[in-house]
Amino acid sequence: MRSAARAKVQFVCQSCGAVSARWQGRCDECGEWNSLVEESGASGVGAGPGRATRRSGRIITLEGLVGDASEAPRIRTGIAEFDRVTGGGLVRGSALLVGGDPGIGKSTLLIQAAGALAAAGRPVVYVSGEEATAQIRLRAARLGIADAPVRLAAETHVEDILATLEDEAPPALVIIDSIQTLWTERVDSAPGTVTQVRAAAQALIRYAKQSGAAVVFVGHVTKDGQIAGPRVVEHMVDGVLYFEGEGGHHFRILRAVKNRFGPTDEIGVFEMTGAGLREVANPSELFLGERNANTAGAAVFAGMEGTRPVLVEIQALVAPTTLGTPRRAVIGWDQGRLAMILAVLEAHCRVRLGDCDVYLNVAGGLRIGEPAADLAVAAALVSSRLNAPLPVDSVYFGEVSLSGAIRPVAHAPIRLKEAHKLGFGRAVMPDGTATGDAEPAMTAKPMAELADLVAAVATTAGNGSNPDH
């Protein structure tokens, strides 16, 4: 009898997937309490098939970097906003994770993509572990894709799914809704655990690589924004997309957070309607809100999302506070960045904000990450503080530095063209911005210092009529 006959035991954190040799009350990696679960070391990732004894390996051929590297063949779903985010379509043999809050519309998006692809003659298999096929059919009827030849299964058992898929020619696309419902016999943990999800994903990813089918997993996100449990899956797949939306809005934004085959800064914009998700090809119209000439505190930011320009209204409310510590609330922008703009306005532009509550909102539920929004945020804040409406036909972009200087940002010509297209006539932007050929159409108002902007807004506050700067 071998002394090491006792199966090796390890403890796996169900929150982050970290592996520990002994049980602990708290995971060292993610700090989660009571998340470690005992597992047999002979299962899960890294374990070979069964408990086979070590054999001498097969010799694999090593290859050089020079060689066959044809552009990854893409499968276009026909839903342009979806194809844009994936970088031009799904890559054959790749695995993609689509994450999002429950009820945000992941299943709707994917059944629509499946329907479009199937209608174009590509074989698609949709495996649901959450809904019965009858429910999926009802939804498809509502979406108007009932006669698309999508092949459905309601199944959660990985071995059965794989046996079915391997029994025939590989489809172009396999959708698994959701990865959290799957279970496999390869590991003996309970369904829903990290180990199960990881092993199930691994088996299906292997199928994708071998067969050339694209596999899309749906994953639910926990309240703190992580794909529940299997964060490990994010590392295993070729791409991770998040489907998100603000409560109360009908807009949904599909965003790539990881993409081995394309850019990660593109967004796809959809609107949830009674008949499913509608593509929004021109998001600016959505995020501009209802423009009103006489409202102080609103500025239009000429932004970029990936390669696409997006115009969005930034709304600020600056009001005298009744609290000892004034409130600063932000929706859709970075809190720290707002604090910085407020500090620059106080220190370099003599705008007093210390005794005011400040609320900042990005219209339409969009989240902006670009520093180029600084100037538009500052304009909205100053406009509200001085109660001076900004000109309705102006857009703003530019980064503000701690010294109060306005710094140039990239893609000015694209921003200006979009603004012109939507009927704006003026752009307040950093001094020295290269405008390309967009300038003749737009009146450029170059500014070097944030104080110049404050002065311009202040003059309109003085005369109160026909604001012009």
Binding interface with ligand TYD (CB under 6 A): 100, 102-108, 139, 142-143, 272, 274-276
Q: Which residue is nearest to Mg ion (CB)?
A: 107
The minimum distance between CB 278 and ligand TYD, in angstroms, equals 10
**Closest approach of ligand TYD to the CB of residue 252, in Å:** 9
Contact between 43 and Mg ion (CB under 5 A)?
Answer: no
**CA distances to 246, 277, 285, 363, 364 from 104, in Å:** 9, 11, 22, 19, 16
Between 107 and 180, whose beta carbon lies closer to Mg ion?
107
**DSSP-assigned beta bridge partners for residue 151:** 125
Nearest Cα residue to 333 out of 373, 286, 379: 373
Shortest distance, position 108 Cβ to ligand TYD, whole Å: 3
CB under 5 to 8 A by kind: which of ligand TYD, Mg ion, none does 62 bind? none
Residue 227 or 349: the one with the smaller Cβ distance to ligand TYD is 227
Determine contact, residues 44/9, Cβ cutoff 8 Å: no
Alpha-carbon gap, residue 415 to 32, rounded angstroms: 44
Partner that binds at residue 122, options Mg ion, ligand TYD, none, CB closer than 5 to 8 Å by kind: none
The listed partner (Mg ion, ligand TYD, none) that binds 272, CB under 5 to 8 Å by sort, is: ligand TYD
List, in sequence order, the alpha helices (H) in 350-446.
374-385, 412-421
Q: Which does 100 bind (CB under 5 to 8 A by kind): ligand TYD, Mg ion, none?
A: ligand TYD
Q: Which one, 14 or 107, has the nearer CB to ligand TYD?
A: 107
CA pair distance 19, 179, nearest whole angstrom? 21
Residue 107 makes contact with Mg ion by CB under 5 A: yes
Residue 105 interacts, among Mg ion, ligand TYD, none and using kind-specific CB cut-offs from 5 to 8 Å, with: ligand TYD
Q: Distance (Å, rounded) from C-alpha 443 to C-alpha 439?
A: 7
Give the integer Cα–Cα distance in Å for 212 and 121: 17
Tell me whether residue 43 or residue 108 sits nearer to ligand TYD (CB atom).
108
Backbone torsions φ then ψ of 374, nearest 5 degrees: -50, -50
Backbone angles phi and psi of 168, in degrees to 5: -140, 180
Q: Answer with the entry of ligand TYD, Mg ion, none that 275 interacts with (C-beta below 5 to 8 A by kind).
A: ligand TYD
Binding site for Mg ion (CB under 5 A): 107
